[in-house]
Structure 1
């Protein structure tokens, strides 16, 4: 490589980082000061989806900062050149609608489309990223979880 130009391939490296994150514990904890207490607001990976997605996007300069919430990540997507689209392409960010968890709290969910109807997103039961069906499967041909929005970025085209 000496004296030859080297051009990093953002899309390919980004997708490798997303896929290589599967089963990692890297995004399991997000500490914050809440009042006077230091807390793991990701709850040992149960609530790590936005932390995972925004961390990867921040590393690649595709948003401005890491976020603890899906709403915060969505706002940053809008400010960082991401556009809504109807159909996912590899590298798209998928937002699923509000759903009540086993614990009783209500949250959106966020992950990355990797092709062939598959996504990588945080699995709250495992506390780490996993590959799964982009609609979480279906019941009688109806997706188990409604997709609220799909975003794509020109740098990943």
Structure 2
């Protein structure tokens, strides 16, 4: 397998590339569909046209950058397991580049789900937005129209080699 080093003569600037991918994903429809084939042969979009795509989005970027070991995931729990297995450290720091985990809330399918995204500034994140089905930039602690927090942050994961 060729690498950037052998192709370009320089090592990849991993953090900068990672952040460029996160920021470049804003508004993308890339993460709206993920099909599985059911036993009867029919197809099912398991992320419901982007409504439940946060883990798919985050784990796709992490996988493309080689920052996790077990590939793309559809759940926050599996993505967290992969982060921990891959050496990411849990903390409570809002640093640029950290993966952020938000606490559970009832989602459109009637079930409790956590949410996952990326810190892009000390007070902003990029995560998949269920309503539009694509990643967007938003406050880490976003409020609804009556001033209540939409979700509280549960914690962060940082990569020790950044």
Give the TM-score normalised by structure 1.
0.90
2:148 is equivalent to residue 116 of structure 1: no
2:154 is equivalent to residue 137 of structure 1: no
Quote the residue 2:23 is aligned against.
Answer: 19
Equivalent of 1:84 in 79, 90, 93: 90
Q: Residue 87 and residue 44 in structure 1: after superposition, are their counterparts in 2 closer, same or farther (change >3 A)?
A: same
Quote the residue 1:63 is aligned against.
Answer: 68
Residues in 2 aligned to 1:138 and 1:44: alpha-carbon distance in whole angstroms: 23
For the aligned residues, what is the CA RMSD? 1.9
Q: State the shift of 1:66 in Å.
A: 0.2
2:154 is equivalent to residue 148 of structure 1: yes
Report which stretch shifted further, 74-83 or 147-156.
Answer: 147-156
User: Per-residue CA shift, 1:96-119, capped at 9, x if unaligned?
Assistant: 111012442221100000013000
Q: Residue 62 and residue 41 in structure 1: after superposition, are their counterparts in 2 closer, same or farther (change >3 A)?
A: same
User: Per-residue CA shift, 1:112-151, capped at 9, x if unaligned?
Assistant: 0001300000000000000000011379987431111210
Residues in 2 aligned to 1:70 and 1:100: alpha-carbon distance in whole angstroms: 14
Residues in 2 aligned to 1:81 and 1:107: alpha-carbon distance in whole angstroms: 24
Q: Is the 8 A contact 1:50 1:110 kept in 2?
A: yes
Give the TM-score normalised by structure 2.
0.87
SS of 2:137's equivalent in the other structure is strand
Residues in 2 aligned to 1:141 and 1:155: alpha-carbon distance in whole angstroms: 38
- Higher strand content, 1 or 2: 1
2:74 is equivalent to residue 40 of structure 1: no
Unmatched 5+ residue regions in structure 1? none
Q: Is the 8 A contact 2:59 2:79 kept in 1?
A: yes
Q: Is the 8 A contact 2:94 2:123 kept in 1?
A: no
Unmatched 5+ residue regions in structure 2? 1-7
Q: State the shift of 1:88 in Å.
A: 1.7
Residues in 1 aligned to 2:88 and 2:105: alpha-carbon distance in whole angstroms: 24
Q: Is the 8 A contact 1:11 1:155 kept in 2?
A: no
